[in-house]
Homo-oligomer: A and B are copies of this chain.
Amino acid sequence: MFESAELGHRVDKETFVAEVPKLREMLLDAQFDLAKSSHFPVILIVGGVDGAGKSETVNLLNAWMDSRFIQTHGLEKPNDEERAQPHMYRWWRLLPPKGRIGIFNGSWYSYPILQRVHGKTKDAHLDQSLGRIQRFERMLLDEGALVIKFWMHLSKDAQRKRLKKLEADPLTRWRVTDQDWEHFEMYDRFRKICERSLQATSTADAPWTIVEATDFRYQALTVGNYLNDALRKRLSGQLNPSLVQAPPLPPRLDSVNVFQTLDLTQRLEKPAYLVELERLQGKLNLLTRHKAFKKRSVVLAFEGSDAAGKGGAIRRVTGALDARIYRVIPIAAPTDEEKAQPYLWRFWRHLPRVGRFSIFDRTWYGRVLVERVEGYCSEADWMRAYGEINDFEEQLIRNGTILCKFWLTISPEEQLRRFEARKETAYKRFKITDDDWRNREKWDAYQQAVCDMVDRTSPSRAPWTLVESEDKNFGRIKVLKTIVERLEAEL
């Protein structure tokens, strides 16, 4: 979930200085149009970890725009009157009217999350609160509000550095409190609970946008551009029901993405590969005979660029398995029967029994990959799919299914080489179609879709494993190793 926000996104000073005047003008224009039309209020939530520049961002937005039309609210302790009222009373009082922007630095999320972090409530209570929040935001959306939710993120390491730096400077020392360090000690717990909260409330109409907070210029430009895009999208007021009336996905300010964490030059020479293959296949086979496996099941989900080697990797897995305990399910166009059912139905029908594997060669993620990029479904459909997929996988995991998701990565150059090779090898020629060449032209759009997918469907309980498959041997071993380690941990 926080993958893209731990990559060290940066914007250099020159770019920032060049961009800001344009952005300010656009924001002021949008704000003016908003005030003039007065058709809807804007509710902008800024949440995140301590020291992640929430206040600075809010101050900057006020400086960039006409602050007379912005209402900013910090998360102060509720006063006597507010304490005696229902929990949401204070937020109702602070809602911005139509035509105005209300910025909430801290929001209705803070209290339920902190109660859970401090162990005063259990997961079920947190979910109960999140359900209430969802209904509240649903009401705001139905009433026409534009709801924008930013989550400012720092990795554990980045947060430690940030707090230390603030403490070292006499001018900012006062800002670091004991409570901040106390929260830092609970970073991992905090992160897990935030992840659960963000995932449950990231709906198609009011999605969370996670912003990396290590570089303030990047953070400020991301927030400013996103706000401008969201305002413009909404002000253009299209009533096309197939379009989500919601903020767009975040702008990309640099070319940094999750794929840059991968080193595609990694190789494994044949002799070492064969030794490893045999060792891991043996281990995997043994694990499937483990007593505990009789009560568990495994779902393996394979996605990747065309020619990235999904089939080959899958065969190396099935090579280790008794043919009676697995099924490989190749996902192509849905059958008539499947088209007559909700989208996820065709995956539910192939879930494994206990003691079995279901191996999906392409998966339910088609909705947010090919269907999104090729326009086979509406924006509203693929935007809601992230939540539906998370719900689906949560059910699997809650039921004890072990779920591994692989994205096999190759460079565009390597893909070209493999396409050409397929053309020339008679028995591989069937594997390359016109579609493959067409998809290749949309490389960037697919990359974008994959990044969004990883950001929105990679909770710690069901993470994506990105596999460097430039060298096939390396990729296959990484897949096998991941499966073996997960089974060892779970059984």
Q: Which residues of A contact B (CB under 8 A)?
A: 38, 41, 81, 84-89, 92-93, 95, 97-99, 122, 124-125, 127-128, 130-132, 134-136, 139-140, 142-143, 145, 239, 241, 297, 337, 339-345, 348-349, 351, 353-354, 380-381, 384, 387-388, 391, 395-396, 398-399, 401
Contacts and interface: CB of A to CB of B under 8 A. Distances in A.
B143 A342 contact: yes
A81 B356 CA distance: 12
Contacts of A398: 86
A131 B124 contact: no
16 contacts: A41-B340, A81-B353, A84-B353, A86-B351, A86-B401, A89-B348, A92-B345, A95-B345, A97-B341, A99-B340, A127-B131, A135-B391, A139-B342, A139-B388, A143-B343, A239-B241
Nearest to A99: B340
**A127, A380, A384, A398 pick with most chain B CB within 10 angstroms:** A127
Nearest to A388: B139
Given A86-B399, A140-B342, 17 more contacts: A84-B297, A84-B353, A85-B399, A86-B351, A89-B348, A92-B345, A92-B348, A92-B349, A93-B349, A95-B341, A95-B345, A124-B124, A124-B128, A127-B127, A136-B391, A139-B384, A139-B388
Contact of A86 (B85, B95, B396): B396
Contacts of A143: 342-343
Contact of A351 (B89, B97, B130, B142): B89
Copies in the complex: 2
A108 to B, nearest CB: 12
A43 to B, nearest CB: 10
Contacts of A87: 395, 399
Contacts of A81: 353
Contact of A342 (B145, B340, B354, B384): B145
Contacts of A134: 131
A398 B128 CA distance: 13
Contacts of A86: 351, 395-396, 398-399, 401
Contacts of A401: 86
Nearest to A131: B131
B395 A88 contact: yes
Given A92-B348, A135-B391, A341-B95, A84 B354 contact: yes
A98 B341 CA distance: 7
A397 to B, nearest CB: 9
A398 B387 CA distance: 29
A145 B87 CA distance: 36
A50 to B, nearest CB: 28
A342 B146 CA distance: 12
Contacts of A88: 395
A203 to B, nearest CB: 9
**A84, A131, A353, A354 pick with most chain B CB within 10 angstroms:** A84
Contacts of A145: 342
A57 to B, nearest CB: 26
A130 B395 CA distance: 14
B132 A391 contact: yes
B337 A97 contact: yes
Contacts of A38: 340
